[in-house]
Amino acid sequence: MGSLDFPSFMTILISGLCTGGVYGLFSSSFSFQLGALNVADFSFGSWLMLSMYLTFFMYKEWNIGIIPFGVILFGSYFIISFLMSKFIYIKRKTDDNMIITMGISLIIQNAATLLFSSYPRSLGIIEKTIVVGGVQITITKLIMLFLSAILLLGFQLFLNKTWTGKTIRAVVQNKEVASLMGINSNRVINLAFSLSYVMLAASGIMLVTLFSVEPTAGGFYQMMSFFICIIAGLGNIRGAFFSGLLIGFLTAILNIISSQFAMVMMFLIFVIFLVVKPTGLFTAKSRG
């Protein structure tokens, strides 16, 4: 740690902060599922990994433009998650859901191994950097930070301003009363679940520009998103974004202290945090 000068220290921290932004995006979608919709989704990380893979192949092999690809990806994620929610998750208890989603995660992960091989793939973008007083900031990461912030802001606005968003919040707050007011609660929950999956697909596209992807990557992102939404407090979407930034920051610092034991320390902090304060730092006033 002693050999590190201030500008490179700041470079690492800012890069951690920017990746933290994307972490924040997919974690807030996970937080929305778990906290607001009460679905313990263990296949989350694998779907994220699949979206990263598909983006990679779209860019490198298939020659589809980004807009048609986005439409196809978001559409298929929306439909698949709607069906999963409708036929599987909504009817069952939490621990059954955990096992089912785990099975689905296993299928996706191994299908990726079978189809794409376990070799890690990276887009290998040559990044432009801007230098401010010796501190290097890569433009891609900066764009991703702002993009994820904008997406989340859009989602928040959707929840607060539109009719559909309001029904989602009503159902999350009290399912029975919402049903009495003439809202089709189950359909609203399915819809909300699908929306969180669209957000997931978007963060997959963004993640693959920053990191390489391999079939086992899902487990790591799953763990990260769980960690982040615990720190934020379950169901707190805005808090999840900020604690994503915090985790990005923390990862960078741990890597500076000791890159060998960074992951070990990370999990240790996670376990200690879960024991000491399972309700989260940014405690949510209302869920959702």
**DSSP class of 121:** B
Q: Cα–Cα distance between 138 and 164 in angstroms, integer?
A: 38
Q: Are 133 and 71 in contact (CB under 8 A)?
A: no
Q: Are 237 and 152 in contact (CB under 8 A)?
A: yes
Please state, as a whole number, how many other Cβ atoms lie within 10 Å of the Cβ of residue 277: 13
Please state, as a whole number, how many other Cβ atoms lie within 10 Å of the Cβ of residue 6: 10
Smallest separation (angstroms) from other proteins to the CB of 258: 9
**Amino acid in position 47:** W
For other proteins, give the closer residue by CB, 149 or 281.
281
Smallest separation (angstroms) from other proteins to the CB of 22: 21
For other proteins, give the closer residue by CB, 69 or 227.
227
Cβ-count burial 102-111 (b if 16+ within 10 Å, e if not): eebbeebbee
For other proteins, give the closer residue by CB, 60 or 277.
277
Smallest separation (angstroms) from other proteins to the CB of 239: 17
Q: Cα–Cα distance between 56 and 74 in angstroms, integer?
A: 15
For other proteins, give the closer residue by CB, 1 or 275.
275
Q: Cα–Cα distance between 19 and 247 in angstroms, integer?
A: 9
Positions in the binding site for other proteins (CB under 8 A):
34, 40, 88, 90-96, 98-100, 102-115, 117-118, 175-176, 179, 185-186, 215, 219, 223, 226, 230, 260-261, 263-264, 267-268, 270-271, 274-275, 278
For other proteins, give the closer residue by CB, 102 or 147.
102
Q: Are 215 and 50 in contact (CB under 8 A)?
A: no
Q: Cα–Cα distance between 175 and 170 in angstroms, integer?
A: 7
For other proteins, give the closer residue by CB, 118 or 129.
118
Smallest separation (angstroms) from other proteins to the CB of 82: 18
For other proteins, give the closer residue by CB, 102 or 135.
102
Q: Cα–Cα distance between 172 and 193 in angstroms, integer?
A: 12
Angle CA(70)–CA(75)–CA(78) in degrees, nearest 5?
125
